[in-house]
Chain A
Amino acid sequence: GENVEQHPSTLSVQEGDSAVIKCTYSDSASNYFPWYKQELGKGPQLIIDIRSNVGEKKDQRIAVTLNKTAKHFSLHITETQPEDSAVYFCAASPDYKLSFGAGTTVTVRA
């Protein structure tokens, strides 16, 4: 099955700085790579996703890059704000089954 590794496990950034989270996956058949944000006491919510036929995707302050050859993908958050503080999960899927990374707790310091 798919195995997704995510780093770092915790990330503290100054407000206004950028945050980068990296993930690797094992199954070369995976073709869908979403990122979820989980705020305290809530369920994970999709913030951005990328498919295997695209190398990069951007949505306002967040962007995701995918390197299929190296089997890794990354989430970039620019101009971080206090409301970006949350747990972020990457995931990979070759079909209808999503495998999640272990999560990154992001803290944005004011």
Chain B
Amino acid sequence: DTAVSQTPKYLVTQMGNDKSIKCEQNLGHDTMYWYKQDSKKFLKIMFSYNNKELIINETVPNRFSPKSPDKAHLNLHINSLELGDSAVYFCASTHTTSGANVLTFGAGSRLTVL
């Protein structure tokens, strides 16, 4: 009964490859996010979708492309992977209400680029 599930949990790949990470939530939330956590544990927001529409798009290389086929899914596709893309990527979701967002995070997807 995982609320926010991400696949794969681990991903090891070579520089220059293209890879995707998938996220699904079964909480009925209307907003989903991708966060990147670097080796120093800093959590940086990348994207957010509300009801399939992009609402946050931080300064992220355009090699990163999110896709939300429906409000329960938010996938992240990364082209031409670079060493600096190595990190843990977290998906999160929330039901947007006025003034607060309680985020539910997935367990993370650890990407290692060799």
Q: Which of B48, B99, B102 contacts A97 (CB 8 A)?
A: B48
Question: Would B102 and A34 count as touching, CB distance under 8 A?
Answer: yes
Question: Would B105 and A96 count as touching, CB distance under 8 A?
Answer: no
The size of the chain A interface, using a CB distance under 8 A, is: 24
The size of the chain B interface, using a CB distance under 8 A, is: 26
Determine chain A's interface SS by DSSP, over half rule. strand
Question: Would B106 and A102 count as touching, CB distance under 8 A?
Answer: no
Q: What's the count of A-B pairs with C-beta under 8 Å?
A: 62
Question: Would B105 and A49 count as touching, CB distance under 8 A?
Answer: no
Determine chain B's interface SS by DSSP, over half rule. strand
User: Given the complex of chains A and B, what is the CA–CA distance between A38 and B110 in angstroms?
Assistant: 15
Say whether B96 faces chain A, with CB atoms less than 8 Å apart.
Answer: yes
Give chain A residues whose Cβ lies under 8 Å from the Cβ of B103.
Answer: 34, 36, 44, 46, 98
Q: Can you spell out 9 A-B residue pairs with CB atoms less than 8 angstroms apart?
A: A36-B103, A42-B107, A44-B43, A49-B100, A96-B94, A97-B45, A98-B101, A100-B42, A102-B41
Residue ranges of A at the interface with B (Cβ–Cβ < 8 Å): 31-32, 34, 36, 38, 41-46, 49, 51, 87, 89, 93, 96-100, 102-103, 105
